[in-house]
Amino acid sequence: MMEESSDESTEIITSEEAELAKEMQESAELPKSSAGLPTSPKFTPSVAAPAPLPDFMSKPGASSSVPSPQKSRESSPAVSSPQPMDVAAPLSPFPGGQVSSPVSKPSISPPASIETPHEASQQIPVPPEMVPDSPRSSSNQGGGLFSWIGGSSLVNKVVEKTKSSMESMITTLDPGMKEVIRTGGDIYIVVTSEKENKVGAVREAFQTVFGKAMVRGMESSATTATQPVGYTCGLKGAEERIHNLREKGELPEGQPVVSVEGFIVELLPDRWYEMSCLILQDPANRIELRTFSQASPIPAEYILQAQDRTPSDYHLRWAGLAVSIGQIVEESMPHIGQSDWQAALTGVSRRESLTLAARTLAYMYKQRLPPTVV
């Protein structure tokens, strides 16, 4: 009995077709997304494990805001999901001395040193013609450490005031030191007398005006009457004293000389006064000055006694009297003395009146001297 042949025959499938059919079957089994599209196959990227945190990061109390260090990747096929990044996050130190920062920061230079106003002004350019000439240093002038005192008017005034105060104290305690302190300088005066009331008055006056002066007395006489009467006789007697002193040859040529001659004068009817004539001659500088002291009144009885004791045939009767008023006063009041009878009669000594007149003479002399002498 013959078997019935089947209409269906066995189909031969190659291996390539079998693999393709397998892949299609697997794709059909994949779950679909919510939008009806198949999702991409999952894959695991090859990412290295993060390095452990540094020691100071793991200590308690460390700031949690510091991001964990990560190793830089050379290449990555997958892109991770975006993470929140702090832009102002500080740089994270890595082991091995490497530093990584997501945002590059500009380098900050340290602050410059603070300059003083003087240093800042030195940097301002100044034209050479506007720069004043600098004075020589005190070391070049040879003044020493305190040479700056000579250039300050205020310091000079203080020094002069202190010096004057010290001299006043010394001369008050010891009046004889006044002549020692103020003796010297470039002013040298000769007085035509050795009497202290004349020499001392001229010395005090010139030292007051010039600061320092050398004054000495040399005796000289005049050919006038014993007691000159009138301005003319007083002036003539002072000039004769200077002339006679120069004639002796004891004075150098051009030496300044001061001469003092006392006289009496009738300024009002029956009113007589004693005065002194002062003359200064400086031939070297061609200076000649004259002045008179203040008038001291004389009682009329003393004048009458001097006139009665003057002989009628006195050869200098035209120039004055033969007896001085000082001699008459001394004979009338022996306790007064002939040298300072003006103080007993008027309260002002002759030295005081001569000092005032000599100071006027010294001041006029200083005004006329060349600046190189003073």
pLDDT in tens, 147-160: 555 556 777 777 77
User: Both 195 and 236 in a single domain?
Assistant: yes
d(CA 280, CA 365) in angstroms, rounded, equals 8
What is the Cα Rg of the chain in Å?
62
User: Both 170 and 217 in a single domain?
Assistant: no
d(CA 166, CA 182) in angstroms, rounded, equals 13
User: Both 171 and 203 in a single domain?
Assistant: no
Look at residue 245 and tell me if it is in a domain.
yes
pLDDT for the residue numbered 332? 87
Look at residue 82 and tell me if it is in a domain.
no
pLDDT for the residue numbered 155? 74
Q: For all residues of the chain together, what is the average pLDDT?
A: 75
The number of domains in the chain is 2
Looking from the CA of 49 toward its CB, the CA atoms found within 13 Å total 3
- The model's pLDDT over 129-153, given as tens digits with 9 standing for 90+, comes to 666 665 444 444 455 555 555 556 7
Say whether pLDDT at 314 is over 50: yes
pLDDT for the residue numbered 344? 87
Say whether pLDDT at 220 is over 90: yes
- The model's pLDDT over 232-278, given as tens digits with 9 standing for 90+, comes to 999 999 999 999 999 988 888 889 999 999 999 999 999 999 999 99
pLDDT for the residue numbered 29? 61
pLDDT for the residue numbered 94? 47
| Residue 204: CB atoms within 10 Å | 22
pLDDT for the residue numbered 2? 46
Tokens representing 83 are: 């993470």
Mean pLDDT of 220-238: 93
Say whether pLDDT at 303 is over 90: yes
User: Both 173 and 269 in a single domain?
Assistant: no
Look at residue 138 and tell me if it is in a domain.
no
Phi, psi of 326 (to 5 degrees): -60, -35
Say whether pLDDT at 229 is over 70: yes
User: Both 230 and 203 in a single domain?
Assistant: yes
pLDDT band at 76 (very low <50, low <70, confident <90, very high): very low
Q: What is the CATH number of the domain that holds 230?
A: 3.90.950.10
Three-state secondary-structure class, residue 213: coil
pLDDT band at 182 (very low <50, low <70, confident <90, very high): low
Look at residue 247 and tell me if it is in a domain.
yes
Look at residue 261 and tell me if it is in a domain.
yes
Say whether pLDDT at 37 is over 80: no
Mean pLDDT of 45-70: 54
Ramachandran assignment for 131, one of left (phi > 0), alpha (psi -120 to 50 degrees), beta (any other):
beta
Mean pLDDT of 58-87: 46
DSSP state of 153: H
Look at residue 52 and tell me if it is in a domain.
no
Dihedral angle sign, alpha carbons of residues 224, 351, 336, 176:
negative
- Could you write out the DSSP letters of every residue in 278-317? EEEEETTTTEEEEEE---EEE-HHHHHHHHHTS-TT-TTT
User: Both 358 and 250 in a single domain?
Assistant: yes
User: Both 178 and 194 in a single domain?
Assistant: no
User: Both 195 and 290 in a single domain?
Assistant: yes
User: Both 158 and 288 in a single domain?
Assistant: no
Ramachandran assignment for 266, one of left (phi > 0), alpha (psi -120 to 50 degrees), beta (any other):
beta
pLDDT for the residue numbered 154? 74
Look at residue 201 and tell me if it is in a domain.
yes
| Residue 239: CB atoms within 10 Å | 19
**Domain hosting residue 159, numbered range:** 150-182
d(CA 301, CA 329) in angstroms, rounded, equals 10
User: Both 201 and 168 in a single domain?
Assistant: no
pLDDT band at 47 (very low <50, low <70, confident <90, very high): low
d(CA 106, CA 47) in angstroms, rounded, equals 32
Looking from the CA of 203 toward its CB, the CA atoms found within 13 Å total 21
Phi, psi of 191 (to 5 degrees): -105, 140
Strand 227-228 and strand 99-100: pairing?
A: unpaired
Look at residue 47 and tell me if it is in a domain.
no
Alpha carbon of residue 19 to chain centroid: 112
